[in-house]
């Protein structure tokens, strides 16, 4: 690594540490040793799962021999979410009465999180092989859910991207739950959420508490609600979240890290395992989610970056940042004036986690910079129905490890212990010696990175369905469905599960790890009817009935995860429930996939009864202690909504800038509340000067919180804070890996054992 790069990174790490109140005594120890990475690369075999980075989630599922279905669910606010379903796996053929599980990705992710780790390690495949009916969710705005019934994410971007994880919880999750339950006929769902996938769940159950009764178990991986102790760079924007969102809007930027084919190609090549500069890719992931080089499967990076970031609204990121200074898990803070207008009070209302009565299992990593330990413990204290609190047995287990850890099978995916995966964010490492250039092939085969989710599912031999769901506010969400896996053939009665990705993710999050490791495939093979959601604005859900994301970009992208919870999830739930005939869904949310759920259940409490179990992976609600880079923008969250896409450029699946800003706002306020539009905007939107907090106590659905000790987004203290408020915690599970981070929930090498198996086994109780 050049001295300049290392010096800059050390300075950044120090800044993050200072802003979050902790000291890093040896910053240089954070960096991955490049020589070690190169030595590991020498064992690379030509045939690997790199092609998965070029495949869609359905293609990945099909590639590994699993059945796949793609379903589109329209939320009450018009967003069309795409769910990916693996109806059965290799151990269960098509049959009725399978447990239905919903797996929800986190911030900037999609359903690929759950299938990109191969057939043996990916949670989706493991669940399918365990005879679950696996549904992988895609939050509004990500690669697979960037559509709307009337809005176009480009032409109507302000309106389209006007959401944060709040809408994901009150719209996306309810819609997905309803859709899966109706289609499968199940009376309850299992849920796995990672990072924002848990945030969405908290909101859904707190705001729409009637869905609590529909959740058999919520498995929260790297749970995120409160972000007060977040270490991730998101923390740095917390003090400025309101200004950053405003500044970005001035430039007409509403989507945060959208999908971009060119950058996907470039990132895949420079991050190939034979690339001399691959360590830079690894450290970029680490700086956001926590450092854990031992669990990073470098051969998976090209696949990972072929699908991520999957996009999110700027408001979603800002919403997380708002939780850092406030220390609360509450609705989006629009500012005093607009808060008064929207909420009838100067500050956003808190989400009442005590309303979350669904049984919950929390899985967390000690080194999670997003789902900080203190925040996770705070969640655990608030959730009333915690069934399990599981710390991943790896001291460095971080936010990303829940998805891609090498030992994901042992640490979290093991069906005997019941866990799930999810994805989170990204980070930076060292440069290789120029002597290694001779071994670098820029045209390395990364087929899966070029395939869509449906193409990936088909590629791996799974059936796939693509469903389009229109939300109440006009967004058209694409849902990918794997109706059955290799162990269970077509048939009624399967358990229906909805998987919801996190920030910048999409449904690919749940299958990108391949049929062995991806949660989407794992669930299908466990005889689940798997639906993978795509939030509005991501690669698969960038449509609207009236708005174009380019031509109407300000309107289209005017959303954060608040809209994901209030519109996207409800629409997806309704669609899935109606199409499957089930009376309840299992849900897996990662990162923003949990944020949207919290919003959904608290704002639309009627959906609580439709959740059999919400599995919150790397749950995010409060972001006060967030360590992720999102915390870095918290002080500028208002301006960040408009500025971040310009600063960071475009990266795979897409989301509204407001999604990120919404998270950043939580860093400032320390509350889990609605989007802060500023005093005037808040008065207009809420009728009060500050955004109203989400009432987490309304989330009565059973919830399982799965968190990583090293999660920078779903920080332990914020997760615990969430757990304290959720009324129906069934499980608080710390991933058994100290370095497990926010992204590990999706791609950790050992996720099958770390969380997938545990999640699947735990859901058998519901």
What residues act catalytically? 195, 399
HSE-up of residue 2 (Cα within 13 Å, Cβ side) = 7
Q: What are the structure tokens assigned to 408, written together?
A: 């994901």
Cα distance between residue 641 and residue 656, in whole Å: 8
Does residue 748 sit in helix, strand or coil? strand
According to DSSP, the β-strands at 255-256 and 130-140 are unpaired
Residues 6+ apart with CB under 8 A from 80: 72, 73, 74, 145, 147, 148, 149, 468, 469, 470, 471, 475, 476, 477, 478, 536, 541, 543, 544
Does residue 628 sit in helix, strand or coil? coil
Residues 6+ apart with CB under 8 A from 170: 203, 204, 207, 208, 562, 563, 565, 566, 567, 569, 570, 599, 600, 602, 603, 604
DSSP of 721-741, one letter per residue?
HHHHH-TTEEEEEE-S-TEEE
C-alpha radius of gyration, the chain, whole number: 20
Tell which residue, 707, 172, 113, 169, has the closest CA to residue 390: 707
Tell which residue, 69, 716, 119, has the closest CA to residue 453: 69
Does residue 302 sit in helix, strand or coil? helix
Cα distance between residue 466 and residue 470, in whole Å: 13
Q: What are the structure tokens assigned to 110, written together?
A: 């999609």
* Cα distances (Å, whole numbers) of residue 556 to 80, 338, 452: 13, 20, 23
Q: What angle do CA 71, 574, 563 make, to 5 degrees?
A: 90
Q: What angle do CA 764, 185, 602 make, to 5 degrees?
A: 75
Does residue 471 sit in helix, strand or coil? strand
According to DSSP, the β-strands at 80-86 and 229-231 are unpaired
Q: What angle do CA 590, 595, 600 make, to 5 degrees?
A: 120
């Amino acid at each position: 690594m050049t001295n300049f790069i290392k010096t800059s990174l050390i300075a950044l790490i120090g800044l993050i540490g200072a802003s979050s109140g902790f000291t890093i005594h040896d910053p240089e120890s954070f960096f991955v040793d490049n020589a070690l990475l190169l030595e590991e690369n020498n064992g690379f075999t030509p045939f690997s799962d790199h092609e998965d980075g070029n495949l869609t989630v359905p293609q990945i599922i099909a590639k590994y021999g699993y059945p796949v279905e793609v379903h589109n669910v329209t939320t009450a606010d018009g967003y069309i979410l795409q769910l990916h379903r693996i109806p059965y796996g290799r151990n269960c053929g098509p049959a009725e009465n399978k447990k239905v599980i919903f797996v929800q990705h986190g911030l900037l992710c999609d359903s690929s999180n759950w299938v990109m780790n191969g057939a043996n390690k990916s949670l989706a495949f493991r669940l399918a092989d365990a005879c679950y009916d696996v549904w992988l969710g895609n939050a509004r705005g990500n690669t697979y859910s960037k559509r709307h019934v009337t809005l176009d994410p480009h032409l109507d971007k302000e309106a389209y991207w006007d959401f944060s994880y709040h809408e994901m919880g009150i719209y996306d999750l309810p819609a997905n739950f309803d859709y899966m339950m109706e289609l499968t006929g199940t009376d309850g769902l299992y849920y796995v959420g990672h990072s924002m996938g848990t945030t969405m769940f908290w909101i859904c159950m707190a705001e729409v508490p009637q869905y609590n009764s529909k959740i058999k178990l919520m498995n929260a991986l790297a749970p995120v609600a409160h972000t007060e102790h977040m270490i991730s760079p998101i923390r740095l924007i917390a003090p400025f979240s309101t200004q950053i969102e405003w500044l970005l809007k001035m430039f007409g930027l509403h989507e945060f890290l959208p999908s971009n084919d060119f950058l996907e190609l470039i990132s895949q090549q420079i991050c190939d395992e034979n690339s001399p500069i691959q360590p830079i890719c690894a450290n970029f992931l680490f700086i956001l989610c926590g450092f854990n080089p031992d669990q990073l499967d470098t051969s998976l990076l090209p696949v990972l970056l072929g699908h991520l970031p999957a996009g999110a609204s700027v408001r979603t990121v800002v919403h997380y940042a708002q939780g850092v200074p406030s220390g609360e898990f509450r609705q989006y803070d629009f500012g005093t004036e607009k808060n008064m207008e929207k909420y009838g009070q100067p500050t956003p209302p808190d989400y009442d986690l005590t309303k979350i009565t669904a049984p919950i299992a929390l899985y967390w990593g000690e080194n999670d910079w997003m789902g900080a330990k203190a925040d996770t413990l705070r969640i655990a204290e608030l959730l009333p129905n915690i069934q399990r609190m599981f710390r991943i047995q790896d001291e460095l287990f971080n936010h990303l490890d829940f998805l891609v850890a090498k030992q994901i099978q042992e640490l979290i995916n093991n069906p005997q212990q019941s866990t799930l995966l999810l994805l989170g964010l990204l980070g930076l490492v060292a440069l290789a010696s120029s002597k290694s250039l001779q071994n670098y092939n820029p045209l390395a085969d990364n087929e899966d990175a070029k395939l869509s989710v449906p193409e990936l599912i088909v590629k791996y031999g799974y059936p796939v369905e693509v469903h389009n769901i229109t939300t109440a506010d006009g967004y058209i969400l694409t849902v990918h469905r794997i109706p059955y896996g290799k162990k269970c053939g077509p048939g009624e009665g399967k358990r229906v599960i909805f998987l919801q990705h996190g920030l910048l993710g999409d449904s690919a999050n749940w299958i990108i790890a391949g049929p062995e490791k991806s949660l989407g495939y794992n669930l299908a093979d466990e005889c689940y009817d798997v639906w993978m959601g795509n939030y509005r604005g991501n690669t698969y859900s960038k449509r609207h009935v009236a708005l174009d994301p380019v031509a109407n970009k300000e309107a289209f992208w005017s959303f954060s995860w608040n809209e994901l919870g209030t519109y996207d999830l409800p629409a997806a739930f309704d669609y899935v429930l109606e199409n499957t005939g089930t009376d309840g869904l299992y849900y897996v949310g990662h990162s923003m996939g949990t944020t949207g759920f919290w919003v959904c259940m608290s704002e639309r409490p009627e959906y609580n009864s439709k959740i059999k179990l919400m599995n919150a992976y790397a749950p995010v609600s409060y972001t006060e202690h967030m360590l992720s880079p999102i915390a870095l923008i918290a002080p500028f969250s208002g301006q960040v909504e408009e500025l971040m896409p310009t600063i960071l450029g475009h990266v795979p699946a897409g989301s509204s800038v407001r999604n990120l800003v919404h998270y950043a706002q939580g860093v400032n306020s320390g509350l889990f509340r609605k989007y802060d539009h500023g005093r005037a905007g808040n008065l207009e939107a809420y009728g009060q000067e500050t955004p109203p907090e989400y009432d987490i106590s309304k989330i009565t659905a059973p919830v399982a919180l799965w968190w990583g000790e090293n999660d920078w987004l779903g920080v332990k203290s914020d997760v615990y804070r969430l757990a304290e408020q959720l009324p129906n915690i069934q499980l608080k599970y710390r991933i058994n890996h100290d370095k497990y981070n926010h992204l590990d929930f999706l791609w950790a090498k050992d996720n099958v054992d770390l969380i997938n198996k545990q999640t699947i086994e735990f859901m058998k109780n519901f």
